[in-house]
Amino acid sequence: MKKLLCTFLGLSLSLSLVFAGGNDPSLKEGFTQGNPQIQSINSLAFGPEGILFMGDSQKGEIIALDTQDEKAGQAPESISLKRVDVLMASLLGLQADEITIQDMAVNPLSQMIYFAVQTPEGAPVLLRTAGKTFEVFDLEDVSYSKISLEKAIAADAKDRRGRPLRKWAISDLAYKNGKVYVSGLSNEEFSSTFRSISFPFTEKQNYAALEIYHAAHGRYETYAPIKTFLPYTMAGKEYLVASYTCTPLVIFPIDQLKNGELNRGKTVAELGNRNTPLDIISYTKEGKEYLLMANSSRSLMKIDPEKVSNFQDFLTQPVSESSATAGVEFIALPYVLVQQMDNFTDEKVLLLQRMANGDLNLHTPNIRRL
Amino acid sequence: MILYRFSTGAAQPWLRFFFLGLIIVAWGVVCPAQVSLVWQKGALQAENLPLSFTDSLSQDAIEPGQFLKLFRLDASRSLSPGQNAIWGSYQVHAESFAFYPKFKLRPGAWYRALWIYRADTLAYDFQLAPEANSLPPPVAALSPQLDTLPANLLKIYLHFSQPMAEGQAYQKVELLDENGKVLGLPFVPLQPELWDAPHQRLTLWLDPGRIKRGLGPNQASGSPLKTGKRYTFRVRADWKDQKGQLMGQPYEHTFWVGPVDRLSPQPKAWEIESPQSKSQEPLRIRLGERLDAALLQKCFQVYTAQGDEVPGSVIPVPSQDQWAFLPDRPWPPASYEIRIQAILEDLAGNNLNRLFDRDLQENPKPPQNQTHYSLYFVVK
């Protein structure tokens, strides 16, 4: 069956390549060539066709970059790189403690790994793997398309000079089925800003600004910014699985989110005290899907999405033990201090992990071990 | 002028002696082939190259790191294993070959240049001059700078005298109890850190999961601040600005913790001090409580009855319990509207529409969904 599917996929790919020469249905059709004048890169996410989405909080823009990195087989089957911060910083004439790694994303077509890195002066740098080290992806003359979040928030309140009152720090970015999803934190008001933007970007956009409430033990209703999220299909329905800065894991059906209304998400778990969620991905092991979460001060958490979608009630039982967690159960995997995480191949996940000796290493554990 | 030549890339210890005490902006190193390396005007130059060499080069065909490499040296002036050469661009001139690092090198840091051509390797270590017009060490100040803060205080702003480096914030801020004990993780270590555009104001959140009633962190550890207790907020002295300069002095602010604030700001209860007609007196609103300093600066607008915005500027009030507005021109006698954006928050994150956390049993009133609230006053 698998073989049949591969043949079918191969055939469709060849056909699409044949037809690509004529009316190019590429998502990159409206891209322009030049310097996108990026001021910061806070978040990375890959779309199809080697398109890398980058969130620029300083300028309030989302940039879709054509990496021209669409060929499979460019990268090794597994990665094991030690002291990657030294390797990266030295490229920039800096020392390891002078750079900040803002985000990491794997190109699903080539398995090349991209990093958003910041210099002490705040200059953004895009790096990617090159053999056993890294190279700078020069952004001076590239093919790109971008959209301003300032436009996206045009409907919001403005200050007296007509500038939007909301300034975002983009906390996460994802692409799924023609939509770019963006979550943002404000450096002034405590609010949740979540938007979906159609891609390819057009002038006419539906920028839903959503305020999503969640409940604690059925008694308290609260409101907080989303730190990281994953658009995810459960039982044929599109959900957003979102982890909040105050740790609850909340799900909501994407099609039910409405602008200007009180949106309530379903709290399905609490992920523990003194912890910040970092990344959520999904993976398939022995035919079954799992969610995997990386956290600032907890080990990797493996969650069964079936239990999430079947979870009926808001949390009702108080949590009493220190750092206790509640709701949908999860399995703690023995990977601590994971800084960044992404899917690498069907068999492997990619972890950027601070090791016990203080080294920052990049490696690709097999999902059999997860 | 110091000359040396070696092929392993590592300086012999006795050679380092020559470097001690020297601050070198541009050292030339001459190899037997008369090639010299020099750092000047933001570029590493290999000079005195034979024309036959430079003529043979095509600008586009040069691979990064071919012929000329530049490395940052660590504190012991050596290279780390696997260290990459600095990324930049190359230019070929008549008798020289230049490398331009893409990012500004660090003043005061040591670098090693390598010229590699066939079997010849030429190394040249140099230190960039420390910046001449260095600013004084950065200084921090906390907002709200108040003696008493609510037990459910949500966020604080740290202001700096110059742009600070990103990525260190959560190792450099501490909250101490009255016995001087450093409290564990009172702030959410957010990535990205919440800086303003010039990198001079950092927003820190006290862990909202610990402040919100009913959430696991709140039930397990309670709110970071307890009513009636005294705390000290400290910024450590080893925080660097963007130029790598340490603060040198810690910053501390001690405050008492008052009761929790679980009420939204109520514009209807505010007292407006109307200015005199034809005067240029500030318009003052007494808020009856302390509101967020950053939002007070931008959430208010004054309009005439015709809907024109009154130009002027907001006067910062350190006590944060007043809003004061200085008009650009004297007030004509008329009726005015003050529009207050609903996102305006108090110190505990309650805004005009909703509470930070709402007890559904005690307070069944759902959040409002207004963009702004209006108040009116008359100048007579």
A58 in B contact zone (CB under 8 Å)? yes
Query: Cα separation of A274 and B281, whole Å?
Result: 49
Query: Cα separation of A87 and B316, whole Å?
Result: 46
pLDDT at position A11 over 50: no
Model confidence at A128, in pLDDT bands (50, 70, 90)?
Answer: very high
Residue B335's pLDDT is 97
Residue A84's pLDDT is 97
Higher model confidence: residue B69 or residue A248? B69
Residue of B nearest to A248 (CA): B215
Residue B278's pLDDT is 94
Mean pLDDT of all residues in A71-87? 90
Higher model confidence: residue A268 or residue B338? B338
Nearest to A157 among B217, B341, B369 (CB): B341
Question: Which residues on B lie below 8 Å from A135 (Cβ)?
Answer: 87
Residue A313's pLDDT is 57
Residues 17-46 (A) with a CB less than 8 A from some CB of B: 42
A148 in B contact zone (CB under 8 Å)? no
Residue A257's pLDDT is 74
Please tell me the distance in Å from A266's CA to the nearest CA on chain B. 14
Residue A344's pLDDT is 96
Do A118 and B242 meet the contact criterion of CB atoms below 8 Å apart? Answer: no
Residue numbers in chain B where pLDDT is lower than 50: 1-32
Residue B23's pLDDT is 33
Query: Cα separation of A342 and B267, whole Å?
Result: 47
Q: Which of B74, B89, B135, B215 is best to mutate for the A interface (most A CBs within 10 A)?
A: B215
Residue of B nearest to A132 (CA): B82
What is the CB neighbour count within 10 angstroms for residue A335? Answer: 19
> Over the Cα atoms of chain B, what is R_g?
30
pLDDT tens for residues A48-59?
999 999 999 888
Residue B373's pLDDT is 96
Higher model confidence: residue A94 or residue A266? A94
Q: Which of B191, B213, B359 is best to mutate for the A interface (most A CBs within 10 A)?
A: B191
DSSP string, A180-229: EEEEEEESSS---EEEEEESS--SS-----B-EEEEETTTEEEE--EEEE
Residue A187's pLDDT is 82
Peptide bond into B330 cis (omega under 30): no
Residue B80's pLDDT is 87
Give the pairing type, strands B334-341 and B372-379: antiparallel
pLDDT tens for residues A269-304?
877 667 788 899 999 999 999 999 998 878 999 999
Residue B312's pLDDT is 95
Beta bridge partners of A283: A290
Query: Cα separation of A30 and A200, whole Å?
Result: 8
Residue of B nearest to A121 (CA): B242
**What is the distance of C-alpha A16 from the center of its chain?**
28
Could you give the ipTM of this predicted complex? 0.81
Residue A312's pLDDT is 67
Residue A326's pLDDT is 64
Could you tell me how many CB contacts below 8 A there are between chain A and chain B? Answer: 226
pTM of the model as a whole: 0.85
Query: Cα separation of A124 and A121, whole Å?
Result: 9
Question: Which residues on A lie below 8 Å from B216 (Cβ)?
Answer: 247, 270, 272-273, 319, 323-326
Q: Which of A104, A247, A261 is best to mutate for the B interface (most B CBs within 10 A)?
A: A247
Residue B195's pLDDT is 87
Model confidence at A236, in pLDDT bands (50, 70, 90)?
Answer: confident
Query: Cα separation of A259 and A146, whole Å?
Result: 23
Mean pLDDT of all residues in A219-230? 83
Query: Cα separation of A18 and A147, whole Å?
Result: 31
Please tell me the distance in Å from B52's CA to the nearest CA on chain A. 31
pLDDT tens for residues B101-120?
988 888 889 999 998 887 77
Cβ–Cβ of B192/A57 closer than 8 Å?
yes
